[in-house]
Structure 1
Protein backbone atom coordinates (compact mmCIF):
# COMPACT_ATOMS: atom_id res chain seq x y z
CA UNK A 1 0.00 0.00 0.00
CA UNK A 2 1.35 3.38 -0.98
CA UNK A 3 1.23 6.65 0.86
CA UNK A 4 -0.49 8.48 -2.00
CA UNK A 5 -4.24 8.16 -1.71
CA UNK A 6 -5.93 6.64 -4.74
CA UNK A 7 -9.68 6.48 -5.32
CA UNK A 8 -11.74 5.36 -8.31
CA UNK A 9 -14.01 8.39 -7.85
CA UNK A 10 -11.22 10.94 -7.60
CA UNK A 11 -8.63 12.36 -9.96
CA UNK A 12 -5.31 13.51 -8.55
CA UNK A 13 -3.31 15.90 -10.68
CA UNK A 14 0.21 16.93 -9.74
CA UNK A 15 1.14 19.89 -11.91
CA UNK A 16 2.85 23.28 -11.99
CA UNK A 17 0.47 26.18 -12.56
CA UNK A 18 3.36 28.33 -13.78
CA UNK A 19 3.84 26.24 -16.93
CA UNK A 20 1.69 26.26 -20.05
CA UNK A 21 1.40 22.46 -19.99
CA UNK A 22 0.36 22.53 -16.33
CA UNK A 23 -2.29 25.22 -16.84
CA UNK A 24 -3.77 23.53 -19.89
CA UNK A 25 -3.79 20.08 -18.28
CA UNK A 26 -5.52 21.51 -15.21
CA UNK A 27 -8.15 22.98 -17.56
CA UNK A 28 -8.89 19.56 -19.05
CA UNK A 29 -8.99 17.85 -15.66
CA UNK A 30 -11.19 20.53 -14.08
CA UNK A 31 -13.82 19.86 -16.79
CA UNK A 32 -14.24 16.33 -15.43
CA UNK A 33 -17.29 15.27 -13.43
CA UNK A 34 -15.09 13.47 -10.90
CA UNK A 35 -13.74 14.96 -7.68
CA UNK A 36 -10.31 16.48 -8.22
CA UNK A 37 -7.32 16.83 -5.96
CA UNK A 38 -5.03 19.28 -7.72
CA UNK A 39 -1.55 19.61 -6.24
CA UNK A 40 0.29 22.62 -7.62
CA UNK A 41 4.02 22.03 -7.18
CA UNK A 42 4.68 25.77 -7.42
CA UNK A 43 2.75 26.19 -4.15
CA UNK A 44 2.92 22.81 -2.42
CA UNK A 45 6.05 20.86 -1.52
CA UNK A 46 5.84 17.15 -2.32
CA UNK A 47 7.87 14.99 0.07
CA UNK A 48 10.61 12.76 -1.30
CA UNK A 49 8.77 9.59 -0.31
CA UNK A 50 5.87 10.63 -2.53
CA UNK A 51 8.18 11.42 -5.47
CA UNK A 52 9.66 7.93 -5.06
CA UNK A 53 6.19 6.37 -5.04
CA UNK A 54 5.21 8.39 -8.13
CA UNK A 55 8.33 7.30 -10.03
CA UNK A 56 7.82 3.67 -9.00
CA UNK A 57 4.20 3.70 -10.14
CA UNK A 58 5.20 5.29 -13.44
CA UNK A 59 7.93 2.65 -13.86
CA UNK A 60 10.68 5.25 -14.21
CA UNK A 61 13.72 6.52 -12.31
CA UNK A 62 13.47 9.70 -10.20
CA UNK A 63 15.81 11.40 -12.66
CA UNK A 64 13.20 10.91 -15.41
CA UNK A 65 10.79 13.18 -13.54
CA UNK A 66 13.18 16.08 -14.13
CA UNK A 67 13.23 18.17 -17.31
CA UNK A 68 16.98 18.37 -17.81
CA UNK A 69 16.51 20.99 -20.52
CA UNK A 70 14.79 23.43 -18.16
CA UNK A 71 16.90 26.61 -17.77
CA UNK A 72 16.82 26.39 -13.96
CA UNK A 73 18.21 22.86 -14.10
CA UNK A 74 20.87 23.73 -16.66
CA UNK A 75 21.96 26.70 -14.58
CA UNK A 76 23.17 24.32 -11.88
CA UNK A 77 23.80 21.02 -13.67
CA UNK A 78 24.94 19.64 -17.00
CA UNK A 79 22.31 17.70 -18.98
CA UNK A 80 24.17 14.39 -18.51
CA UNK A 81 24.84 14.78 -14.78
CA UNK A 82 24.86 11.60 -12.71
CA UNK A 83 23.16 12.09 -9.35
CA UNK A 84 22.05 9.70 -6.62
CA UNK A 85 18.36 9.32 -5.74
CA UNK A 86 18.64 11.66 -2.75
CA UNK A 87 20.27 14.31 -4.93
CA UNK A 88 17.44 14.08 -7.50
CA UNK A 89 14.94 14.44 -4.66
CA UNK A 90 16.76 17.60 -3.55
CA UNK A 91 16.51 18.96 -7.10
CA UNK A 92 12.74 18.33 -7.08
CA UNK A 93 12.40 19.84 -3.62
CA UNK A 94 14.43 22.98 -4.37
CA UNK A 95 13.29 23.45 -7.99
CA UNK A 96 9.74 22.07 -8.46
CA UNK A 97 9.52 23.99 -11.73
CA UNK A 98 11.81 21.40 -13.34
CA UNK A 99 9.28 18.57 -13.04
CA UNK A 100 9.04 17.36 -16.63
CA UNK A 101 5.29 16.69 -16.94
CA UNK A 102 2.08 16.83 -14.95
CA UNK A 103 1.24 13.53 -13.26
CA UNK A 104 -2.26 12.16 -13.38
CA UNK A 105 -3.47 9.56 -10.89
CA UNK A 106 -6.68 7.71 -11.77
CA UNK A 107 -7.85 4.79 -9.68
CA UNK A 108 -4.49 3.19 -8.89
CA UNK A 109 -2.83 4.09 -12.20
CA UNK A 110 -0.25 6.82 -12.69
CA UNK A 111 0.37 8.67 -15.96
CA UNK A 112 2.75 11.38 -17.14
CA UNK A 113 0.90 13.92 -19.25
CA UNK A 114 2.93 15.13 -22.23
CA UNK A 115 0.04 16.85 -24.00
CA UNK A 116 -2.96 18.35 -22.16
CA UNK A 117 -5.43 16.38 -24.26
CA UNK A 118 -3.75 13.11 -23.16
CA UNK A 119 -6.05 13.31 -20.15
CA UNK A 120 -9.05 12.38 -22.31
CA UNK A 121 -7.57 9.08 -23.49
CA UNK A 122 -7.18 7.87 -19.90
CA UNK A 123 -10.74 8.67 -18.89
CA UNK A 124 -14.00 6.87 -19.38
CA UNK A 125 -15.94 9.46 -21.44
CA UNK A 126 -19.08 9.17 -19.30
CA UNK A 127 -17.27 9.74 -16.02
CA UNK A 128 -15.05 12.47 -17.37
CA UNK A 129 -17.85 14.52 -18.83
CA UNK A 130 -15.88 14.74 -22.05
CA UNK A 131 -16.35 12.97 -25.34
CA UNK A 132 -13.55 11.22 -27.20
CA UNK A 133 -15.50 11.59 -30.43
CA UNK A 134 -17.84 14.58 -30.33
CA UNK A 135 -19.31 13.70 -33.73
CA UNK A 136 -20.85 10.49 -32.34
CA UNK A 137 -23.99 10.80 -30.28
CA UNK A 138 -25.57 8.14 -28.12
CA UNK A 139 -28.61 6.57 -29.65
CA UNK A 140 -31.69 6.14 -27.49
Structure 2
Protein backbone atom coordinates (compact mmCIF):
# COMPACT_ATOMS: atom_id res chain seq x y z
CA UNK A 1 0.00 0.00 0.00
CA UNK A 2 1.33 3.40 -0.96
CA UNK A 3 1.53 6.49 1.20
CA UNK A 4 0.01 8.80 -1.42
CA UNK A 5 -3.77 8.89 -1.26
CA UNK A 6 -5.28 8.09 -4.64
CA UNK A 7 -8.86 9.08 -5.30
CA UNK A 8 -10.49 8.87 -8.72
CA UNK A 9 -12.62 11.87 -7.76
CA UNK A 10 -9.66 14.07 -6.83
CA UNK A 11 -6.78 15.56 -8.77
CA UNK A 12 -3.48 15.72 -6.89
CA UNK A 13 -0.80 18.00 -8.29
CA UNK A 14 2.86 17.92 -7.23
CA UNK A 15 4.60 21.04 -8.56
CA UNK A 16 7.12 23.74 -7.77
CA UNK A 17 5.88 27.31 -7.49
CA UNK A 18 9.45 28.37 -8.21
CA UNK A 19 8.85 27.97 -11.94
CA UNK A 20 6.26 29.51 -14.24
CA UNK A 21 4.86 26.19 -15.51
CA UNK A 22 4.21 25.05 -11.95
CA UNK A 23 2.39 28.31 -11.18
CA UNK A 24 0.29 28.00 -14.35
CA UNK A 25 -0.59 24.37 -13.67
CA UNK A 26 -1.60 25.21 -10.12
CA UNK A 27 -3.93 27.92 -11.44
CA UNK A 28 -5.51 25.49 -13.93
CA UNK A 29 -6.05 22.83 -11.26
CA UNK A 30 -7.46 25.38 -8.81
CA UNK A 31 -9.93 26.65 -11.43
CA UNK A 32 -10.84 23.23 -12.86
CA UNK A 33 -13.92 22.79 -10.70
CA UNK A 34 -12.60 19.35 -9.70
CA UNK A 35 -11.81 18.30 -6.15
CA UNK A 36 -8.08 18.78 -5.85
CA UNK A 37 -5.04 18.74 -3.63
CA UNK A 38 -2.03 20.78 -4.68
CA UNK A 39 1.38 20.13 -3.17
CA UNK A 40 3.92 22.85 -3.75
CA UNK A 41 7.23 21.08 -3.16
CA UNK A 42 8.85 24.48 -2.55
CA UNK A 43 6.78 24.81 0.63
CA UNK A 44 5.93 21.24 1.58
CA UNK A 45 8.50 18.56 2.34
CA UNK A 46 7.89 15.47 0.21
CA UNK A 47 9.26 12.34 1.84
CA UNK A 48 11.60 9.91 0.15
CA UNK A 49 8.82 7.33 0.20
CA UNK A 50 6.48 9.73 -1.60
CA UNK A 51 9.14 10.56 -4.22
CA UNK A 52 9.75 6.84 -4.75
CA UNK A 53 6.01 6.26 -5.18
CA UNK A 54 5.74 9.15 -7.65
CA UNK A 55 8.68 7.84 -9.68
CA UNK A 56 7.25 4.31 -9.61
CA UNK A 57 3.82 5.57 -10.68
CA UNK A 58 5.47 7.25 -13.67
CA UNK A 59 7.57 4.14 -14.34
CA UNK A 60 10.75 6.18 -13.90
CA UNK A 61 13.78 6.37 -11.65
CA UNK A 62 13.99 9.11 -9.04
CA UNK A 63 16.89 10.60 -11.02
CA UNK A 64 14.52 11.07 -13.98
CA UNK A 65 12.48 13.55 -11.93
CA UNK A 66 15.43 15.96 -11.70
CA UNK A 67 16.01 18.51 -14.45
CA UNK A 68 19.74 18.10 -14.99
CA UNK A 69 19.59 20.63 -17.85
CA UNK A 70 18.37 23.43 -15.55
CA UNK A 71 20.83 26.32 -15.15
CA UNK A 72 20.76 25.98 -11.36
CA UNK A 73 21.65 22.29 -11.58
CA UNK A 74 24.60 23.05 -13.86
CA UNK A 75 25.71 25.90 -11.58
CA UNK A 76 25.74 23.61 -8.53
CA UNK A 77 26.86 20.29 -10.06
CA UNK A 78 28.59 21.32 -13.29
CA UNK A 79 28.07 20.13 -16.85
CA UNK A 80 29.41 16.63 -16.33
CA UNK A 81 26.93 13.88 -15.57
CA UNK A 82 26.84 12.88 -11.94
CA UNK A 83 26.34 9.42 -10.53
CA UNK A 84 24.18 9.42 -7.40
CA UNK A 85 22.12 6.83 -5.62
CA UNK A 86 18.41 7.43 -4.97
CA UNK A 87 19.20 9.11 -1.65
CA UNK A 88 21.43 11.63 -3.43
CA UNK A 89 18.74 12.48 -5.99
CA UNK A 90 16.18 12.84 -3.18
CA UNK A 91 18.45 15.34 -1.43
CA UNK A 92 18.69 17.36 -4.64
CA UNK A 93 14.89 17.50 -4.98
CA UNK A 94 14.40 18.43 -1.33
CA UNK A 95 17.11 21.12 -1.28
CA UNK A 96 16.34 22.52 -4.74
CA UNK A 97 12.63 22.09 -5.56
CA UNK A 98 13.02 24.24 -8.67
CA UNK A 99 14.90 21.28 -10.17
CA UNK A 100 11.75 19.13 -10.41
CA UNK A 101 11.71 18.38 -14.13
CA UNK A 102 7.93 18.30 -14.61
CA UNK A 103 4.81 18.67 -12.52
CA UNK A 104 3.06 15.42 -11.66
CA UNK A 105 -0.70 14.90 -11.61
CA UNK A 106 -2.40 11.94 -9.99
CA UNK A 107 -6.02 11.03 -10.52
CA UNK A 108 -7.14 7.66 -9.30
CA UNK A 109 -4.27 5.30 -10.00
CA UNK A 110 -2.99 7.30 -12.97
CA UNK A 111 0.25 9.27 -12.71
CA UNK A 112 0.98 11.80 -15.45
CA UNK A 113 3.94 14.13 -15.97
CA UNK A 114 2.91 17.53 -17.26
CA UNK A 115 5.42 19.61 -19.17
CA UNK A 116 3.10 22.55 -19.87
CA UNK A 117 -0.17 24.07 -18.77
CA UNK A 118 -1.75 23.00 -22.05
CA UNK A 119 -1.00 19.37 -21.11
CA UNK A 120 -3.39 19.70 -18.18
CA UNK A 121 -6.11 21.22 -20.37
CA UNK A 122 -5.66 18.32 -22.80
CA UNK A 123 -6.09 15.71 -20.08
CA UNK A 124 -9.17 17.44 -18.70
CA UNK A 125 -10.86 17.69 -22.12
CA UNK A 126 -13.72 15.15 -22.08
CA UNK A 127 -13.20 14.48 -25.81
CA UNK A 128 -9.52 13.63 -25.43
CA UNK A 129 -7.73 10.57 -24.12
CA UNK A 130 -8.15 12.36 -20.78
CA UNK A 131 -6.70 11.97 -17.35
CA UNK A 132 -9.18 9.20 -16.57
CA UNK A 133 -7.44 6.98 -19.11
CA UNK A 134 -4.33 4.98 -18.12
CA UNK A 135 -0.98 6.41 -19.28
CA UNK A 136 1.44 3.89 -17.86
**8 Å contact kept, 1:28–1:117:** no
Trace 1:60-79 onto structure 2 (pairs within 5 A): 60-79=60-79
Q: Structure 1: how far apart are the matches of 2:71 and 2:121?
A: 30
For 1:96-119, what per-residue CA distance to the aligned partner results, in whole angstroms no more than 9, with x for missing partners?
110011111111111110111111
Q: CA RMSD in A?
A: 1.6
Q: Structure 2: how far apart are the matches of 1:99 and 1:119?
A: 17
1:112 is matched with which residue?
A: 113
Deviation, structure 1 residue 71:
2.3
**8 Å contact kept, 2:12–2:38:** yes
Tell me whether 1:121 sits opposite 2:122 in the alignment.
yes
1:83 is matched with which residue?
A: 84
For 1:61-116, what per-residue CA distance to the aligned partner results, in whole angstroms no more than 9, with x for missing partners?
11110011222211221341111111111111111110011111111111110111
1:52 is matched with which residue?
A: 52
4+ runs deviating over 6 angstroms:
none
More divergent stretch after superposition (88-97 vs 72-81): 72-81
Could you say what secondary structure the match of 1:117 adopts?
A: helix
User: Which consecutive unaligned segments of at least 5 residues does structure 1 have?
Assistant: 126-130, 133-140
TM superposition score normalised by structure 2? 0.86
Deviation, structure 1 residue 124:
5.5
**8 Å contact kept, 2:16–2:42:** yes
Could you say what secondary structure the match of 2:11 adopts?
A: strand
Larger radius of gyration: 1
